[in-house]
Amino acid sequence: MTDARRILALNEQAIARVSNQRVAGHVRIGVMEDYGTKILPSLLADIAQRFPLVQVDMEIGLTALLLKRLGSSFDAVIAMHPEGTSEGDLICRERAIWAAASTRAVEELDPLPVALSYPDCLFRAWAIEALDKAGRPWRLAYVSPSLAATEAIVGQGLAITVVKGSMLAPGLRGINPGRYVPPLPGAEIRLHRAATSSAGASLVINHLAQRLRQSALGS
């Protein structure tokens, strides 16, 4: 019976591979920079292999701005939300953490130099709200929509920033909330789908959602 089940499973996989080979179309994805540079490339390579006739376009941006274009510009948007949001499909939960250079205790400076993105960034809003609520003196030392540029500034010991706990870059360290920095809210990563997507696009997006969840679990 075990051998029969294994043969049946292999047969179903073979059928799925053949079906995937026939899926064609165009899929447009909007995603945050950290996911777009650190998570999505390998998953898109997997999609290219499984769905060779599908064209995938990816655009990096801020959650708030990408979601406004869901349906018109994107078939799917991978976005970050405050913990407890019901919109979209839950991919995983994330921790928002303060990050600083491994070689300098920047968090002890007064006022605290902070590097943040543009006003539409959720992490920027959380950072400012948390610092003001805690009465922690701070200054906006660097502003850029580029996470890579911000991480480079932080890595030089010029400021601290807020990143996802799972995305802490080499050369940076997380700062525990306490004397120097306040706690931050919890976050969720969610995938939003356009109602007008084609059947082929929906199939690819379903596969992407599954692979994202597996990646979040480390598998």
Tokens of 201: 């696009």
pLDDT of residue 197: 81
CB 34 within 8 A of CB 149: no
- Residue 84 pLDDT > 70, yes or no? yes
Q: List the structure tokens of 65.
A: 């701005």
- Is 161:99 a contact under the CB 8 Å cutoff? yes
pLDDT class of 199 with cuts at 50, 70, 90: confident
Across 160-199, b (16+ Cβ under 10 Å) vs e yields bbbbbebbebeebbebeeeebbbebeebbbbbbbbeebee
Regarding predicted confidence, which is higher, 200 or 103? 103
Indicate the pLDDT class of residue 20, thresholds 50, 70 and 90. low
Note the pLDDT of residue 72: 95
pTM: 0.85
Task: Name the pLDDT band for 19 (thresholds 50, 70, 90).
Answer: low
pLDDT bin (cut points 50, 70, 90) of residue 22 is: confident
Position 14 pLDDT exceeds 50: no
